[in-house]
């Protein structure tokens, strides 16, 4: 079945540090891939997406590249800020005609000044 | 543009009771999905509605049911509540199929249900 595996947290970084959160997915077809972010007490917000192999999604300094060879979609940011503290979820679309997303368990990021 | 809104934001119920959660979809969106997010976990797909009909369901028992109305708003009903139903319930909307939809969902802030 469809699944998404992301690195477990929590992750604690100092401000301006480099961030990587690993994510891999099961290779059933070529699903659209997403990173969502959840700030404390809020719902999920789309951070970035990629719809086909080798696409790079980017937003707010975050990037992730759709790697078909390694079935991965790792999230990176060169210099994190305190305001980036949140829970990050990797997800994949279940099928071409489906709106169902399968999510990873989430990675909590805390950035300290 | 109005985003996805959910109500109530918080509620407390006891085992065996029933609950109804409500969702208004984002303007222009006619597909609504519901997700359950247990504490410390990722959201789990419950079901989705399109044109007032359920057209996809996750691994949830029949006591989880829903409705979609002509204005695309939606309800999630849970009967015979159990302690494990305590979670954040998220509603998400999206445009109709074929309208350049890449599968992105637009989420509300959720309804936090506590079952005692």
Q: Could you read off the pLDDT of A10-63 as tens digits, one per residue?
A: 999 999 999 999 999 986 778 889 999 999 888 899 999 998 899 999 999 999
The DSSP result for B76-113, as a single string, is EEE-S--GGG-EEEEEEEEPPTTSS--S--EE---EEE
Q: Are B103 and A44 inside 8 Å of each other by CB?
A: no
Q: Are A100 and B41 inside 8 Å of each other by CB?
A: no
Q: Are A99 and B56 inside 8 Å of each other by CB?
A: yes
Q: Are B105 and A51 inside 8 Å of each other by CB?
A: no
Q: Are A43 and B104 inside 8 Å of each other by CB?
A: no
Interface of B with A in 17-56 (CB under 8 A): 31, 33, 40-45, 48, 56
Query: What was the pLDDT predicted at B104?
Result: 82
B51 close to B30: Cβ distance less than 8 angstroms:
yes
- Is it the case that residue A68 has pLDDT exceeding 60? yes
Nearest by Cα to A104 from A13, A31, A34, A40: A34
Per the structure block, which two tokens stand in for A73? Answer: 């979609």
Q: Read off the pLDDT of residues B63-103 as tens digits, 9 standing for 90 and up.
A: 999 999 999 999 999 999 999 999 999 999 988 766 666 67
Q: What distance in Å separates the CA atoms of residue B98 and residue B1, rounded to the nearest whole number?
A: 21
User: Which of B7 and A97 is assigned the larger pLDDT?
Assistant: B7
B104 touches chain A (CB under 8 A): yes
Query: What was the pLDDT predicted at B55?
Result: 87
Classify burial at A83, counting beta carbons within 10 Å of its beta carbon; exposed 0-12, middle 13-18, buried 19 or more. Answer: exposed
Q: What distance in Å separates residue A93's CA from the closest CA in chain B?
A: 6
């Amino acid at each position: 079945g469809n699944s998404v595996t992301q690195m477990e947290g929590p992750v604690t970084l100092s401000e301006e540090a480099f961030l990587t959160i690993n994510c891999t997915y099961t290779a059933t077809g070529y699903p659209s891939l997403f990173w969502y972010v959840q700030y404390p007490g809020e719902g999920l917000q789309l951070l970035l997406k990629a719809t086909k192999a080798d696409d790079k999604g980017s937003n707010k300094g975050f990037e992730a590249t759709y790697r078909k060879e390694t079935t991965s979609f790792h999230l990176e940011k060169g210099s994190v800020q305190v305001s980036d503290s949140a829970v990050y979820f990797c997800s994949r679309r279940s099928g071409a005609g489906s709106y169902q997303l399968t999510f990873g368990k989430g990675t909590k990021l805390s950035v300290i000044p | 543009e109005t985003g996805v809104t959910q109500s109530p934001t918080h509620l407390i119920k006891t085992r065996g009771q029933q609950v109804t959660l409500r969702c208004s979809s984002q303007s222009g969106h006619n597909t609504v999905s519901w997700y359950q997010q247990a504490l410390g976990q990722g959201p789990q797909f419950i079901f989705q509605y399109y044109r007032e009909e359920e057209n996809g369901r996750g691994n949830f028992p029949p006591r989880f049911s829903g409705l979609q109305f002509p204005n695309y708003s939606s309800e999630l009903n849970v009967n015979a509540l159990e302690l494990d139903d305590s979670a954040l319930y998220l509603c998400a909307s999206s445009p109709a199929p074929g309208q350049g939809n890449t599968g992105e969902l637009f989420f509300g802030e959720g309804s936090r249900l506590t079952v005692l």
